[in-house]
Structure 1
Amino acid sequence: MNQSKHDPSEYIRGIQQILISDKKKIGFLFGAGSSLAYKSDNSLTVPAIGKMTSEIVEEVGKLEIKFKTALNEIKEELGENDFNIETLLSKLELKLDVIGKSTLNSLTKEDFKILISSIKKCVRQKVSVHSDKGQIVRKDIVSELVQTDFANWIGQAERKFPIEIFTTNYDFLFELGLEHKEIPYYDGFCGSLRAFFNPESVEDFRFLPKQTKLWKMHGSLGWHFDKDTEKILRVSPDDEDILIYPSTLKYKDSKKQPYESLLDRLSNFLKQDDAILITCGYSWGDEHINSRIISALKTNTTSHVIGLFFDKFDRINEDSKISKIGLDNPKISIYASRNAVIGCNFGDWVLKSEPSREDSVNIDLYFDEDAAIDPKDEKKAEAKGEEIWTGKGEFILPDFSKLVKFLNTMVSDNEIKKLGENVKK
């Protein structure tokens, strides 16, 4: 079977046109990979979910041997591949809801409460990189965040439609970046003294139509379910009772908010014409999010999803789960490091023609070309003038830090000014 080839320079021009168009509605879906990105040793990062899960399970398991035993049993129940901090919390919440006066995994109802509280406390500690001895980190540290550079790109030009950021992360890195660059944004909460989550405003695209939107799909530090008012409130992120529920949404009706509204926002965003959702740092492992995306794209719209998929250390192939998502959905393109699924065709990234030295400077922003091959001895590093140029290489934009650098170097100062002027017209 002849495998397709995809020219990265061809598709990058399409992305550039999308990002500078005032007709497109542009959204980003960021997962844990974006919180791993850094540009210097001073950049704040959050552990990946796998590492975070193993560290928390080890730490909580040391509190009491019965906790360690229960966690091992639940890991076996969920399976190695599906065991992470979110599925673990979901399982524990479900067990707490049905346990009554009996025991499960040798734990009582009170044991489950202590275990859940301990895990959430560990999560808070690991994602609270915004805090330094109880204070917000210094502005010189915030300036070194990749998220701050992303906010810088958002603020470069006025747009007819605001950028919408969807993220599964709990941390405050995007908030730090946006506020450092003084970018007004809305996250679904209204009020000041006891800011409350307002589902109606999330559903209404006319609400604060010019402001950047930040939608935290899995919850956040500082979100608290207030039993007295039965509302989701935003409180101090250091509060002991923080709403960090996992993603399965199997809760009582009162606890389905804010997740239902945020998922609806993602669906409705994609149901608009000319909407483009770019994912980065997202593993496509959240089935409830995937199903909303796929379902929304089945509507009769011109929306499209570009999945920047980081697979540098575990390459995808045609049979990979992520590849099948793209192969089955013409409105979803998957851009991995060595391969891509575009138009339901799986293929390698290959430049059609060898670029000039001047062109290579621009190509290096998104594509790392392989070294030429010596036809006589591929292992020889020294050039002899007989090397064969293959056009192959690594597409680097699935790395969030590389994506942000590309965004900021994509448009010159003059072009940015023109774009802002055109939008005003």
Structure 2
Amino acid sequence: MTTHDPSEYIRGIQQILISDKKKIGFLFGAGSSLATKNKNSLTVPAIGKMTSEIVEEVGKVNPTFKTALEAIKESLGEKNFNIETILSNLEQKFSFIGTEKLHSLDKNGFADLIIEIKKGVREKVSVHHISLCDITSKKEFRQIVTKEIVSELVQTDFANWIGQAERRFPIEVFTTNYDFLFELGLEHREIPYYDGFCGSLRAFFNPESVEDFSFLSKQTKLWKIHGSLGWHYDMDTEKILRVSPDDDDILIYPSTLKYKESKKQPYESLMDRLSNFLKQDDAILITCGYSWGDEHINSRIISALKTNTTSHVIGLIFDKYDKIDDKSNVSKIGLDNPKVSIYASRSAVIGCNYGEWKLKSEPSTDDTVNLNLYFDEDGAIDPIQDKNKEVKGEEVWTGKGEFILPDFGKLVKFLNSMVSDNEIKRLGDKLKKKFAENGKK
């Protein structure tokens, strides 16, 4: 069976990230909003937890909603019952229902249920604020989380890497997430960034600036390709504005309508930016927390890679609890595209070849320190207990283990380790130069 040595490929990734000649981009999905440093880290609920909480809360709003959702759950099956399938099911029913009723709901009832579920999604991703109570008026109000909380975000550590890394081209961050976690981290670290909006009082989306790679060419870019809290369509000016978040936020919700919605503004300009980024020479896109389940995004990536460029995509796939194999959809993407490498926890598709991770040689004690930043070795096997081996005596080293960078928190720690290494190297070079000058004197 084919094997891939993680220590060989990690050196390539390090060279890419350290080089100031490469154009580095990241595509972050929902998994990046689950990462934690400690118990104080802000996170957005995973799809399973979010689904159960929203279904329970919506059921309390209207008993008929609860009945309808129970019927949909029975139809879909518990395994396939989640926010995406629920919204898709409801939107399909809403589109064909006439004057009759279904699940005790008429057309208006389905519309109201869809609104309540979308409201629940917005509330669950609004982790940037906390609810407080005014002692005098007894009224509840909200405020942005404190700097102490923001300092504990993994996204803040990611911003730290952006701020420390020396490079010619700015980092481009694409994300499907609606939340403000990346904004909180970047602003806490005082990293200037641009997200496609211009202005101050009523910032407006400027598609021409998104298309122009020379616009604010030194600033980090944050492209929220499924929309964001606070994005509104203003009927008066017919513009997309960025204002305070409320129930009128425009977002691409997880449903079968995603592909249709992505062809509208501002999403079309943002998807074009993703395509054009990959059409550049020496562009590297690293995905993390993204499951490659959005066909409208995948098609853009694959189409862009077919152009005659030296761009490449590295997909970090978190499959710790649901392992991929060579038959998985995401593996097939790598098997069919030499410009796409898939790095999962136990296996990888590199150069259109599927294989498991396995070190070629046992690392030394010094090597293990660096190895632990990206690979968690399996324990040695006791040959007496392993019936497949005829070795007796000492434990057998297997070279196998878990590639841990698909975990956004581990990826960020890995990125920051290179910053530290660079600082140490620069300090060492300065000291050598100083000693050389003193020697001449």
Fold in common (TM above 0.5): yes
Q: Report if aligned partners of 1:46, 1:129 keep a CA contact under 8 Å in 2.
A: yes
Q: Does 1:369 align with 2:377?
A: yes
For residues 215-260 of structure 1, what are the alpha-carbon distances to aligned partners after superposition, in whole Å with 9 as ceiling and x for unaligned?
A: 11111111112222222211112x232222326346689x811111
Aligned-residue Cα RMSD (Å) equals 2.6
- C-alpha separation in 2, matches of 1:63 and 1:102: 23
Per the alignment, residue 268 of structure 1 pairs with: 276
Counterpart of 2:252 (choices 245, 250, 257) is 245
Which of 170, 173, 186 pairs up with 1:165?
A: 173
Matches within 5 A, 1:315-354: 315-354=323-362
Question: Does 2:423 correspond to 1:414?
Answer: yes
Q: Distance in 1 between matches of 2:259 and 2:236?
A: 22
Q: Against the structure 1 CA distance between its residues 204 and 71, is the aligned structure 2 distance closer, same or farther, given a 3 Å change threshold?
A: farther
Query: Are residues 87 and 265 of structure 1, via their aligned partners in 2, closer, same or farther at CA, if it must alter by over 3 Å?
Result: farther
User: Does the aligned pair in 1 maintain the 2:287–2:314 contact within 8 Å?
Assistant: yes
1:396-417 alpha-carbon deviations (Å, 9 max, x no partner): 1111100000000123253686
Alignment of 1:105-184 (within 5 A): 106-133=104-131, 134-184=142-192
Listed one character per residue, the Cα deviations across residues 338-390 of structure 1 (whole Å, up to 9, x for unaligned) are: 111100111111111111101111101101111112222359xxxx9712111
**1:125 Cα deviation from its structure 2 partner:** 1.8
Alignment partners' CA distance in 2, 1:77 and 1:199? 42
Aligned CA distance change for structure 1 residues 410 and 158 (closer, same or farther; 3 Å): closer
In structure 2, the residue matched to 1:422 is: none
Q: Mean alpha-carbon deviation: is it higher for 241-250 or for 272-281?
A: 241-250
Q: CA deviation at 1:67?
A: 2.0
Distance across 1 between alignment mates of 2:118 and 2:367: 50
Aligned partner of 2:318 in structure 1 is 310
Matched, 1:299 2:307: yes
Secondary structure of 2:157's match?
helix
User: TM-score, with normalisation over the residues of structure 2?
Assistant: 0.86
Cα distance in structure 1, aligned partners of 2:76 and 2:173: 30
Which of 13, 16, 19 is the matching residue for 2:17? Answer: 19
Q: Is the 8 A contact 2:383 2:393 kept in 1?
A: no
Counterpart position of 1:7: 5
Summarize the alignment of residues 177-256 of structure 1 with structure 2, pairs less than 5 Å apart: 177-237=185-245, 239-246=246-253, 248-249=257-258, 256=264
C-alpha displacement at 1:297, in angstroms?
A: 0.8
Query: 1:223 corresponds to which letter in structure 2?
Result: W
2:26 aligned partner, one-letter code = F
Which residue identity does 1:129 align to in structure 2? Answer: V
- Unaligned 5+ segments in structure 1 are 419-425
Greater C-alpha radius of gyration: 2
Q: Distance in 1 between matches of 2:296 and 2:78?
A: 20
Cα distance 1:269–1:82, how it changes in 2: closer, same or farther (>3 A)? farther
The answer on whether the counterparts of 1:27 and 1:164 sit within 8 Å (CA) in structure 2 is yes
CA shift at 1:52, angstroms? 1.2
Conservation of the 8 A alpha-carbon contact between 2:334 and 2:342: yes
Q: Which amino acid aligns with 1:119?
A: I
**C-alpha separation in 2, matches of 1:339 and 1:164:** 27
CA contact (8 A) 1:183 1:212 kept: yes
Equivalent residue number for residue 34 of structure 1: 32
**In structure 2, what is the Cα distance between the partners aligned to 1:37 and 1:184?**
23
Matched residues, number? 411
Residue 76 of structure 1: CA displacement? 7.0
Whole-Å Cα distance in 2 between the matches of residues 233 and 109 of structure 1?
A: 30
In the alignment, which residue of structure 1 is the partner of 2:291? Answer: 283
d(CA) in 2 for partners of 1:326 and 1:150? Answer: 27
Aligned partners of 2:206 and 2:330: how far apart in 1?
A: 34
Which residue does the alignment assign to 2:434? none
Equivalent in 401, 404, 426 of residue 396 of structure 1: 404
